[in-house]
Amino acid sequence: MSKADKIAAFDPNGLGDRNNNLYGLPFTCDEAELVIIPVPWDVTVSYSDGTAQGPEAIFNASMQVDLYDPLVKDAWKLGLAMDEIPQQWLDRGTALRTKARSYIDALENGETPETSPVMQHTLNEVNAGSRELNAYVKQKCLDWMNKGKLVALLGGDHSTPLGLMQALAEKYPSYAILQVDAHADLRDAYEGFEFSHASIMFNALKIKQVEKLVQVGIRDYCQAEADIIEKSNGRVKTFFDRSLKHNQYGGLTWAEQCKLIVDELPAHVYISFDIDGLDPKLCPNTGTPVAGGFELEQAVYLIQQVVQSGKKIIALDLNEVAPGDDEWDANVGARLLFRMCNLAALSQNRFT
């Protein structure tokens, strides 16, 4: 069947068909306008693991997501599809995670790679594996972008989208990152891991095409990260969770604050969404939950304002979704991903 035939035959009001793709939609990646790339990797997480299971959990939870989007008429007709979950990276990440966990335990007990050959070997192995993963992600994203697809990445931990950011640097002379997160992620090789989930934005700033990093909801960070923000000469603009809430208590509306955030962004925007940017009641099983954060609709409203401002969302990621026993986090993540993908496509006029 052609894509048009599939659209004509599909019932958007029916049950999600697990034999189809994400959200029960009938499209292949070649037919879709937006391709979601799953990266099941959580090797360097520093607290709780489990986010490597995020892509599969979100796929399963997506079958319960109703397809009506009040902002985008017949949004499902766009065509969303998720690429296959790469089993080889899940297996490799699982093996490396076991070693990384032992390494982190040793660190917490006062040992160091400088005095432990076993720790040094693990550190080298993890850094090499992460470097290879970045290369895989970059090439996978470029392959789909070269076919004209809008790309979203689904982690895994927050280290996973670096390859996508690097791929975008080959497509755009400059762009900004809009980061929704509880953490600043500006640590230099946290725990010795060059590509730690806590170092994603530190590494992103090494990409010269990233002209600006706008962080929203940050509420857990260290002195070194605060120094990077302060000394960035405006390249990093951080809207801390505490300040946003205190401004709101003082009478500044969320709509007014969203305008201030959007005004910091240039024409091309990449959205990097760590689910722990939300209130942890919405993501209790995420790797490093922090009190505070956004309601789901608050975050979606911000992205909606980016689109309504006329700026273009060039790609996006969603990370740090760990399913837990009840898969509540995946339930929330599946709905957030659907809304973000629709808004990104809307910003690029992909529905016309």
Task: Give the mean pLDDT per block of 10 residues along the chain (352 residues).
Answer: 94 92 97 97 90 97 95 92 98 96 95 96 97 98 98 97 98 98 97 96 98 98 98 98 98 98 98 98 95 98 98 98 91 98 96 74
What does the pLDDT read at residue 327?
Answer: 87
What does the pLDDT read at residue 47?
Answer: 81
Give the helix, strand, coil percentages of the chain, each rounded to 5. Answer: 45, 15, 40
What does the pLDDT read at residue 46?
Answer: 81
> In the CATH hierarchy, which fold is given to the domain comprising 3-347?
Arginase; Chain A (3.40.800)
- pTM, full prediction: 0.97
Backbone angles phi, psi at 99, to 5 degrees: -70, -40
3-class SS of residue 305: helix
Tell me, what amino acid is at 139?
Answer: Q
What does the pLDDT read at residue 352?
Answer: 62
Could you give the residue ranges of the DSSP H alpha helices within 29-116? Answer: 54-62, 87-108
Q: What is the DSSP letter of 216?
A: E
Tokens representing 28 are 């292949």
Residue 301 neighbours by CB distance under 10 Å: 14
3-class SS of residue 350: coil
Asked whether the beta carbons of 265 and 282 are under 8 A apart, the reply is no
